[in-house]
């Protein structure tokens, strides 16, 4: 829709009463150079019978515009990815909690019962498992299988939502970072230091209260670049990884173009960090 000006008579010009779609588009796309007495103009043009009627029409139009915006936002790819990763984590968590109950219960009835989710899967198929226990074990099995399906979906969807972040972090970690930040846009706007400790909020708050050291990393610890680095250098590796992941998130949000050079830059940086420790070890060995 073309921009409306004060001379046009306001956002309501040319609209029929009750045309919420047209009103929403006019409010979203319209603009004016200067304010005007819109209620009086609306009455004068015949759009509203009174100023009160004008404000009611404006209220309804803005509510509809907000509702549509929220609806479209919730359907966005990153929001769907957030729902999937959270559902996957919920299934994993509940499956493991129920598996503990199954293990304890089975241990009181069967001498050779297995443990954990794997043990529950076995019990769900055994003929000598009491019916109530078998039913609970089957719930564990079903939740574990649902978690697997959700993981497969995350691995399929994440590269389309955040191609650079998914390539660098892996689809599951990328989805988890997006979920912790509240969306890809929110993640792209965060400084690398904040991304570095996402998922370590309890430790961070304890540090701020003076009860614990500052956390070096949050969920990015699961990345091989951090987990596979010597403990003495994990802080440096986490900072390097967080910096590159932040850049990847910004590229994904603002352009969406795939930048393979970011992966290579991270690889070179982590190799340089690990080489320092290797050099120190070799130096210590030569001097002994």
Residue with token string 């919730």: 74
List CB contacts of 161: < 8 A, sequence separation 6 or more. Answer: 77, 78, 81, 178, 184, 252
Q: Encode burial over 26-46: b for 16+ CB neighbours within 10 A, e otherwise.
A: bbeebeeeeeeebbebbbeee
Residue 272, helix vs strand vs coil: helix
Residue with token string 């969807």: 157
- What pLDDT shows up at residue 287? 43
Supply the pTM of this predicted model. 0.74
State the architecture of 162-288 in CATH terms: Orthogonal Bundle (1.10)
- What pLDDT shows up at residue 1? 34
Residue 235, helix vs strand vs coil: helix
Q: Is 61 exposed, middle or buried (0-12, 13-18, 19+ CB in 10 A)?
A: buried
3-state DSSP percent of the chain in helix, strand and coil, to 5 = 75, 0, 25
Residue-level pLDDT, tens digit, the chain, 288 residues: 334 433 355 888 778 777 877 887 887 777 777 788 888 888 888 888 898 888 888 888 888 777 777 766 665 689 999 999 999 999 999 999 999 999 999 999 998 889 999 999 999 999 999 999 999 999 999 999 999 999 999 999 999 999 999 999 999 999 999 999 999 999 999 999 999 999 987 776 776 777 777 778 899 999 999 999 999 999 999 999 999 999 999 999 999 999 999 999 999 999 999 998 777 767 654 443
Domain parsing of the chain, residue ranges: 6-74, 77-159, 162-288
């Amino acid at each position: 829709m073309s921009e409306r000006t004060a001379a046009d008579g306001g956002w309501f010009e040319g609209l029929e009463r009750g045309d919420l779609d047209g009103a929403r588009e006019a409010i979203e796309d319209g603009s004016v150079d200067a304010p005007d007495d819109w209620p009086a103009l609306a009455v004068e043009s015949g759009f509203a019978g009174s100023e009160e009627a004008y404000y009611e029409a404006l209220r309804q139009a803005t509510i509809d515009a907000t509702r549509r915006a929220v609806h479209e936002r919730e359907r966005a790819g990153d929001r769907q990815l957030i729902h999937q990763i959270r559902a996957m984590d919920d299934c994993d968590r509940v499956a493991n909690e129920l598996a503990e109950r199954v293990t304890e219960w089975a241990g009181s009835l069967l001498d050779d019962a297995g443990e954990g989710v794997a043990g529950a899967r076995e019990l769900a198929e055994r003929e000598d498992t009491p019916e109530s226990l078998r039913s609970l074990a089957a719930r564990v099995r079903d939740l574990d299988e649902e978690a697997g399906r959700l993981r497969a979906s995350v691995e399929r969807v994440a590269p389309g939502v955040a191609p650079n972040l998914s390539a660098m972090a892996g689809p599951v970690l990328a989805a988890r970072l997006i979920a912790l930040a509240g969306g890809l846009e929110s993640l792209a706007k965060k400084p690398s230091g904040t991304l570095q400790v996402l998922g370590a909020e309890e430790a961070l708050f304890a540090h701020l209260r003076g009860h614990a050291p500052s956390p070096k990393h949050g969920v990015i610890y699961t990345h091989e670049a951090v987990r596979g680095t010597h403990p003495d250098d994990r802080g440096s590796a986490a900072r390097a990884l967080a910096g590159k992941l932040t850049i990847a998130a910004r590229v994904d949000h603002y352009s969406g173009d795939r930048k393979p050079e970011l992966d290579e830059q991270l690889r070179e940086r982590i190799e340089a960090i690990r080489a320092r420790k290797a050099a120190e070890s070799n130096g210590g060995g030569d001097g002994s």
